[in-house]
């Protein structure tokens, strides 16, 4: 949903803002559970893993090549966001594509 309507979730709807938003969600999720439970199978983490596997170069920070790599492959931000949305839609049905941090008990 974030990739489909980026300006609804970010200030300007840019590719960089969407990636920053997803990274922030993932970071918050990793520290939301005081027991240290990770959410490796949630859609933001899986999407970030895809970006890392497709667009990171060895010896560089994982996210330093995502945007140039996406734009090199897809030419425009809209096409890159559509590719990210397509990847998210291809995730197995058991993956919740609506991100939610589990409530504390």
**Residues 29-40 pLDDT 10s:** 777 665 655 555
Task: Judge whether 23 and 29 are in contact, CB under 8 Å.
Answer: no
Question: What sign has the CA pseudo-torsion 68, 6, 30, 88?
Answer: negative
Task: Judge whether 23 and 63 are in contact, CB under 8 Å.
Answer: yes
Calpha distance 84→43 (Å, rounded)? 11
**Residues 41-86 pLDDT 10s:** 677 888 898 999 998 877 777 777 899 999 999 999 999 999 998 9
Instruction: Say if residue 6's pLDDT is above 50.
Output: yes
Task: Judge whether 75 and 15 are in contact, CB under 8 Å.
Answer: no
Instruction: Say if residue 97's pLDDT is above 80.
Output: no
Calpha distance 13→2 (Å, rounded)? 9
| Residues in the chain, overall count | 105
What six digits make up the tokens of 18? 């969407």
pTM of the model: 0.77
């Amino acid at each position: 949903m974030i990739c489909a309507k980026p300006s609804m979730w970010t200030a300007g709807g840019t590719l960089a803002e969407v990636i920053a938003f997803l990274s922030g969600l993932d970071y918050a999720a990793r520290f939301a559970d005081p027991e240290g439970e990770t959410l490796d199978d949630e859609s933001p983490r899986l999407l970030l893993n895809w970006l890392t596997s497709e667009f990171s170069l060895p010896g560089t920070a994982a996210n330093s090549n995502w945007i140039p790599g996406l734009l090199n492959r897809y030419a425009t931000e809209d096409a890159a966001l559509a590719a990210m949305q397509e990847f998210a839609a291809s995730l197995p049905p058991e993956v919740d594509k609506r991100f939610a941090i589990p409530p504390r008990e």
